[in-house]
Amino acid sequence: MRDLHSNLGIVQILDPAVTTSTRVGAPVDRQGYESVEHIVLLGMSGDTLSPSVSLALKLEESEDGTNWSSIVNDSDVLGRAIDGSGTFALVDDPSEDGQAIAIGYVGDARYCRLQVELTGTHTNGIPVAALALLGHGNVKPVS
């Protein structure tokens, strides 16, 4: 039997919280790992989502953990397309909340992080949490 548990590093990058304004996740340091998967968990929004009340999920990268730039090349991600602003998911309809959204980062930068950018007035907010799964560790077991 294969053991997935001993081959993954897990980092909580956004604490579970009702979100009413833009949040930036903790940086993920890929040192010692070859891959990272970001997983965003969305609850049911307390506001009616629309093009004017929405949230965009974005990825950023950094060589030093200080200076960040948006990831804009599809060749740097897996599982979803990414646009010129770094957005890989736009949640702007009530049918789109209450889901898990995942994207893999395969770029060359040592650090990456997630941003949840809210547009419009989110009076009641939306529950958001996020994890990063680090895989292909250079030393095993990783946990």
Number of H helices, E strands in the chain: 0, 11
Q: What's the predicted TM-score (pTM) here?
A: 0.93
- Structure confidence at residue 93 (pLDDT): 97
- Structure confidence at residue 3 (pLDDT): 76
- Which domains does the chain show, CATH number per domain? 5-137 (2.60.120)
Residue 1 pLDDT > 60, yes or no?
Answer: no
Please compute the mean of the pLDDT values over residues 49-77 and round it to a whole number: 97
Give residue 2's pLDDT band: very low, low, confident or very high (50, 70, 90). low
Please compute the mean of the pLDDT values over residues 13-32 and round it to a whole number: 96
Sign of the four-CA dihedral 31, 4, 80, 17: negative
Q: Counting every residue, how long is the chain?
A: 143
| CB atoms closer than 10 angstroms to residue 139 | 7
